[in-house]
């Protein structure tokens, strides 16, 4: 494992941390606009989704995923045996943001709408998780599928809610590992879409645009949590990454069926920034621009 691929576990210096927070807030303002925790909406991000709604794109011809099969398996803990890769991809997409959204909803319900202020990146990060559910729903709409807003499995739901009650120094170690795993998972889903749906370029382009929204956000989340951790806790996060990854894989078995050992390998590499390297709206921390 090269230094370039593991720098994500290197702590910011005090100067880099201050510069990071200022730059990250500027990025969040520019990308999202004004944040409203009450409505869970961003002024600028809404323009993107309004444009999508005004110009819907759907796959044509025979369905690539059977709607009945998808709906039947969407509520199952484990998918039926023998499902094709397109159906497994759709199910993985549908299940991917349930735990994160539930955790944020639970946290906000306990803390109140004014828990974070306009200068706190967590205000934006919290709302971005709601947008991610919207992004995944829209990606499935391209395949003519309707995603339900379902709760995560009981274990993930319990752990996610317990995380909001842990002291932040402890919780952030686990959150960091989970965010690194999330970037790898979304990266693999995005890349798999280009394999499965390349027969219709326009719908595929729309799916790519939607995943760009998530990928840029998630990489920013990784760096934000990294900025909250020192050397010792980053070492712990690196050590527990395989454990967190296995929990993630067990929670959404469609990932293992789609990617096998490749999923764990991609997570452990922790090659976060290359996932968004070609996006013009990516956020690149100062310490890796040198």
pLDDT score, position 118: 72
Q: Cα separation of 104 and 44, whole Å? A: 21
Give the residue among 82, 211, 78, 203 at the shortest CA–CA distance from 153.
78
CA-closest candidate to residue 180, choices 98, 242, 251: 242
Calpha distance 122→132 (Å, rounded): 15
CB atoms within 10 A of CB 241: 21
Length of the chain: 290
* H-state helical runs in 197-252: 201-227, 231-251
CB contact at 8 A, 221 and 24: no
Q: Is residue 189 a contact partner of residue 259, using CB atoms and an 8 Å limit?
A: no
Residue 285 is classified by DSSP as: -
Report d(CA 93, CA 255) in Å as an integer. 10
At 36 the pLDDT is 85
> What local confidence, expressed as pLDDT, does residue 160 receive?
78
- Kindly give the confidence (pLDDT) of every residue in the chain, 290 residues in length, as a single tens digit, with 9 standing for 90 and above: 333 446 899 999 989 998 999 999 999 999 999 988 788 899 999 999 999 999 999 999 999 999 999 999 999 999 999 999 999 999 999 998 888 888 888 877 776 555 567 788 988 998 998 899 999 999 999 999 999 988 888 777 887 787 778 899 999 999 999 999 999 999 999 999 999 999 999 999 999 999 999 999 999 999 999 999 999 999 999 999 999 988 888 889 999 999 998 999 999 999 999 999 999 999 988 655 44
CATH class of the domain at 3-288: mainly alpha
Domain boundaries, the chain: 3-288
The string of DSSP codes covering 127-167 is HHHHHHHHHHHHHHHHTT------PPPHHHHHHHHHHTTS-
Closest CA to 283 of 175, 126, 124: 124
Alpha carbon distance 213, 131 (integer Å): 9
Q: Give which of 69, 75, 62, 83 is closest to 143, Cα–Cα.
A: 62
Distance, in Å, from the CA atom of 45 to the CA atom of 59, rounded to the nearest integer, reads: 25
Distance CA 17, CA 252 (A): 34
> Residue 290: its pLDDT value, please?
44
Q: Give the pair of three-digit tokens for residue 138.
A: 């829209």
- Phi, psi angle pair for 42, to nearest 5°: -110, 140
Q: Note whether 156 and 251 are within 8 A (CB).
A: yes
Contact criterion met (CB below 8 Å) for 283 and 223: yes
pTM over cut 0.85: yes
């Amino acid at each position: 494992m090269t230094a370039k691929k593991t720098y994500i576990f290197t702590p910011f210096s005090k100067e880099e941390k201050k510069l990071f927070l200022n730059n990250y807030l500027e990025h969040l303002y520019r990308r999202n606009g004004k944040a409203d925790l009450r409505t869970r909406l961003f002024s600028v991000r809404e323009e993107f989704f309004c444009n999508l709604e005004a110009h819907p794109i759907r796959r044509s011809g025979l369905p690539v995923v059977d709607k009945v099969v998808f709906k039947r398996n969407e509520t199952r803990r484990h998918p039926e045996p023998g499902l094709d890769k397109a159906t497994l991809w759709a199910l993985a997409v549908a299940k991917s943001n349930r735990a994160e959204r539930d955790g944020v909803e639970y946290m906000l319900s306990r803390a109140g709408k004014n828990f974070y202020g306009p200068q706190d990146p967590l205000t934006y990060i919290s709302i971005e998780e709601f947008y991610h559910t919207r992004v995944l729903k829209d990606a499935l709409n391209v395949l003519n599928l309707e995603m339900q807003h379902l709760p995560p499995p009981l274990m993930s739901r319990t752990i996610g809610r317990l995380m909001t009650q842990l002291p932040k120094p402890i919780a952030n170690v686990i959150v960091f590992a989970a965010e690194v795993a999330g970037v790898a998972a979304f990266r693999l889903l995005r890349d798999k879409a280009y394999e499965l749906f390349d027969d219709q370029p326009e719908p595929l382009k729309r799916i790519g645009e939607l995943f760009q929204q998530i990928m840029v956000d998630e990489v920013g989340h990784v760096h934000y949590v990294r900025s909250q951790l020192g050397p010792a806790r980053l070492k712990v996060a690196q050590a527990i990454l395989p454990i967190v990854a296995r929990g993630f894989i067990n929670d959404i078995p469609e990932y293992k069926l789609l990617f096998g050992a490749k999923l764990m390998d991609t997570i452990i590499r922790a090659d976060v920034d290359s996932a968004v390297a070609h996006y013009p709206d990516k956020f690149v921390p100062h310490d890796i621009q040198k």
